[in-house]
Amino acid sequence: MKRDLSKMTCIEDLRLMAQRKVPKMFYDYADSGSWTERTYRDNTTDFQDIKFRQRILVDMENRSLETKMIGQDVKMPVAIAPTGFTGMQHADGEILAARAAEKFGVPFSLSTMSICSIEDIAENTSAPFWFQLYVMRDREFMENLVKRAQAAQCSALILTVDLQVLGQRHKDIKNGLSAPPKPTIPNMINLATKPEWCMKMLNTKRRTFGNIVGHAKNVTDLSSLSSWTAEQFDPALSWDDVARIKDLWGGKLILKGVMEPEDAELAVKSGADALVVSNHGGRQLDDTISSIKALPDIVSAVGNDIEVWLDSGIRSGQDILKAWALGARGTMIGRAFLYGLGAYGEEGVTRALEILYKEMDVSMAFTGNRNIHDVTRDILVKGTYPTTTD
């Protein structure tokens, strides 16, 4: 029986429900940033400073948010971002989120550090999905990941370029983050308060990193996995590697983690099809600027040479509309869908997408527009939004 989630009226409602239902270590993993978490907070609060111009007595019929992202039709300029540990927010989480995205009409991205594997998603969905690649020291394993994504007919490869070393997230250290949770006394006490999560997790075989265990050399169980992942992120990753990965992949390439115009210009030269203005949700470098503040300079630097998208900090459809007005031609959502997933599984992800769509659609109408392609920065109040620094 389908649940009535109409009382879930905003992403914050879903967040509060997810906080109640998801074990603390996994909720904290999603809802945290590095060091002081200042950048994590700025990503959302800087959106709030931007104000709309309200127009009246204009035709608001037949509105459309439809567009394309790297040539793919989308119901609104949104894709579900690749997020690690998604299958620990809810059992089989990546499969459920991918199904919700497919039915709604937006792309789904699978993380290298997912609980469900590439093959799991391919077997449980029919729409092409995107795969996000972390570059590992074990090049043979990395190349095999790319081949597995090709075999699954993934329609784009996302190369995350801002995680050569791992930013420190204090909550993860304090919680002893692991998948599945270690049977410590604090963990067992916390799990006892999450019976629904526990029952669903007991009924799935997917409880660790499905893309890695059984595929990487010398990784056969959880004890060997933790030491392997700690050693594998490659701090020597360079633009030369981007060129090699593009050649190996042979399809659409998205670079995620660009925050400076100089790097955006190099992304154009690399031949990538899109770049994502992103500070990893405030989870890597703390005390850097928010993604929405970085956006105008990057759009100005690259013009129409490459699709520019934005990720980090989006909590409403109004945020998406503001990003579009400032030049982003797509966005990626992480926490917004994770809250829905943790709260209500696939239905929760669908509800998160519905909320974002309605907020964006109604706000666009109030600014005097019926089609997303007619929206420019003219819908924003001058002086409230970030501009180029030149």
238 annotated to bind ligand: no
User: Which pLDDT score, from 0 to 100, does residue 390 have?
Assistant: 61
Q: Evaluate whether residue 78 is within a structural domain.
A: yes
CATH classification at residue 214: 3.20.20.70
Q: Evaluate whether residue 202 is within a structural domain.
A: yes
Below-50 pLDDT ranges, the chain: none
User: Which pLDDT score, from 0 to 100, does residue 229 have?
Assistant: 72
111 annotated to bind ligand: yes
User: DSSP label at 11?
Assistant: H
316 annotated to bind ligand: no
Give the range of the structural domain holding residue 47, as residue numbers without chain letter.
Answer: 11-55+71-251+279-379
Q: Evaluate whether residue 267 is within a structural domain.
A: no
Of 383, 385, 378, nearest to 54 by C-alpha is 378
Q: Evaluate whether residue 256 is within a structural domain.
A: no
Tally of domains in the chain: 1
| pLDDT tens digits, 314-335 | 999 999 999 999 999 999 999 9
Q: Evaluate whether residue 2 is within a structural domain.
A: no
335 annotated to bind ligand: yes
48 annotated to bind ligand: no
- Two structure tokens written together for 33: 């940033």
Q: Are 130 and 109 in contact (CB under 8 A)?
A: yes
Q: Evaluate whether residue 270 is within a structural domain.
A: no
Q: Evaluate whether residue 214 is within a structural domain.
A: yes
User: Which pLDDT score, from 0 to 100, does residue 178 have?
Assistant: 77
148 annotated to bind ligand: no
| pLDDT tens digits, 349-368 | 999 999 999 999 999 999 99
Cα–Cα distance for residue pair 155/86, rounded to 1 Å: 21
In three-state form (DSSP H/G/I as H, E/B as E, the rest C), the secondary structure along 293-337 is: HHHHHHHHHHCCCCEEEEECCCCCHHHHHHHHHCCCCCEEECHHH
The residues annotated as belonging to the active site are 280
Q: Evaluate whether residue 324 is within a structural domain.
A: yes
User: Which pLDDT score, from 0 to 100, does residue 224 have?
Assistant: 62
